[in-house]
């Protein structure tokens, strides 16, 4: 993984968009750096797409300001479009034209000419894995292939920033894996800044370096998954352990053994799986030391250890807690009627 830049290539301060009585985006502060994948996470209607449109100069903010590569989206929208690749949530191509012909058409619309354009198109098609299908009509492409062609379309102008709006929606699992891996390569190996909008929590957690959680137009938390876990109350470590048990009485004995270990706050059974537990550590307890005591105690008691691992809070759990802890009120937006 390459070193990531520290300077923000996307920066917004107090960015706000109001439609009548609706505050679609509410005083947004955000920074996105070169070489990182930043995920905007939230349900449909949370303000993610509106934010993207303001950053691209396609929608005028009611208040606040944004800079993309140092440029003002409202004053320099064309300059931003030349430097930023954008894949909307619904990408369309001319079905009677091949993938290569579609790319050639959009490069002309972007003012690109000459032999270099064909080389760029070939490189982009190879990068997204469509070289073998480049000359087939796009009417024969699957949804995943069209999404990859959309990324190629964004890449032919060699952007420094790539903005992706729900890039894996309605794609089969194999296509999702391919697109997520491509996004990783673009950011971590090629140093591109990627802003990714999604409501799919597991995918955001698997790929994003930092995450911003949207709720009704407000960004209620941002940072790494670990940062967000601490902010929203996941302050302790959780360990998972599996111990062979025989019947309810034996299960109670095992649970008592685990709960008595120094540094353990509580023992929680995992689902209906007998002998599988989450061990929630006491505040300030050292996870490695408690883990060693757990394993030793189980073995010394003559129990068979089935498994042992650390558990990281899931983004789904963090998101639910963030929503629950955030009061449903907002400051009035400047310029609102």
**pLDDT tens for residues 235-275?**
567 888 999 888 777 888 999 999 999 999 889 888 767 88
Give the whole-angstrom CA distance, residue 119 versus residue 296: 61
The larger pLDDT score, comparing residue 126 to residue 316, is at 126
* From-to residues of CATH 3.40.50.300 in the chain: 8-231
Mean per-residue pLDDT, 98-126: 90
CATH class of the domain comprising 238-312: alpha beta
Q: Say if residues 98 and 152 touch (Cβ distance below 8 Å).
A: no
pLDDT higher than 50, residue 333: no
Check whether 196 has a pLDDT greater than 60.
yes
What digits encode the pLDDT tens for the residues 38-54?
999 998 889 999 999 99
d(CA 210, CA 137): 38
Q: Has residue 337 got a pLDDT over 70?
A: no
Structure tokens at 285: 């307890």
pLDDT of residue 91: 81
To 5 degrees, how large is the angle CA 259–CA 263–CA 269?
Answer: 35
Confidence grade of residue 327 (pLDDT, cut at 50, 70, 90) = low
Q: Higher-confidence residue: 195 or 176?
A: 195
238: left (phi over 0), alpha (psi -120 to 50) or beta: beta
Q: For residues 54 and 197, is the Cβ–Cβ distance under 8 A?
A: no
Most confident of 2-6, 261-265, 306-310: 261-265
* pLDDT score, position 150: 94
- The mean of the pLDDT values for the chain is 88
Q: Specify the CATH number of the domain 8-231.
A: 3.40.50.300
Given a cut of 80, is residue 130 above it in pLDDT?
A: yes
DSSP strand pairing (238-243 vs 218-223)? unpaired
122-140 as b/e: b if 16+ CB within 10 A = eebbebbebeebbeebbee
Highest-pLDDT range among 88-92, 113-117, 241-245, 309-313: 241-245
CATH 3.30.70.100 domain locations along the chain: 238-312
DSSP 136: S
Predicted model pTM: 0.76
At residue 141, what are phi and psi to the nearest 5 degrees?
-85, 145
| pLDDT tens by residue, 54-107 | 999 999 999 999 999 999 999 999 999 989 999 998 888 999 999 999 999 989
Minimum mean pLDDT range among 157-166, 197-206, 269-278: 269-278
pLDDT of residue 133: 97
Q: Please, which pLDDT band fits residue 2 given cuts at 50, 70 and 90?
A: very low
3-state secondary structure of 266: strand
């Amino acid at each position: 993984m390459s070193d990531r830049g520290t300077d923000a290539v996307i920066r917004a301060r107090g960015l706000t968009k109001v439609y009548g009585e609706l505050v679609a985006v509410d005083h947004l502060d955000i920074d996105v750096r070169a070489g990182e994948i930043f995920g905007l996470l939230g349900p449909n209607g949370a303000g993610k797409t509106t934010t993207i449109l303001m950053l691209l100069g396609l929608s005028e903010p009611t208040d606040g300001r944004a800079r993309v590569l140092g440029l003002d989206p409202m004053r320099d929208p064309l300059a931003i479009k030349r430097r930023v690749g954008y894949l909307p949530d619904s990408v369309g191509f001319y079905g009677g034209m091949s993938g290569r012909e579609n790319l050639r058409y959009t490069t002309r619309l972007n003012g690109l000419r000459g032999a270099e354009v064909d080389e760029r198109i070939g490189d982009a098609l190879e990068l997204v894995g469509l070289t073998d299908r480049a000359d087939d009509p796009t009417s024969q492409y699957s949804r995943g292939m069209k999404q990859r062609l959309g990324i190629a379309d964004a890449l032919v102008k060699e952007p420094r920033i790539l903005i992706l709006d729900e890039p894996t929606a309605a794609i089969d699992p194999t296509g999702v894996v391919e697109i997520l891996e491509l996004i990783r390569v673009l950011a971590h190996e090629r140093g591109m800044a990627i802003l990714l909008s999604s409501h799919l929590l597991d995918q955001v957690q698997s790929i994003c370096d930092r995450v911003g959680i949207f709720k009704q137009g407000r960004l209620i938390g941002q940072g790494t998954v670990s940062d967000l876990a601490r902010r929203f109350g996941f302050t302790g470590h959780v360990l998972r352990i599996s111990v062979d048990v025989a019947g309810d009485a034996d299960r109670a004995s095992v649970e008592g053994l685990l709960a008595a270990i120094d540094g353990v706050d509580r023992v929680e059974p995992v689902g209906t799986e007998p002998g599988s537990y989450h061990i929630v550590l006491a505040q300030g307890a050292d996870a490695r030391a408690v883990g060693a005591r757990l394993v030793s105690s189980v073995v010394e008691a003559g129990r068979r250890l089935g498994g042992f691992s650390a558990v990281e809070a899931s983004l789904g759990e963090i998101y639910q807690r963030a929503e629950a802890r955030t009061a449903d009120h907002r400051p009035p937006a400047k310029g609102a009627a």
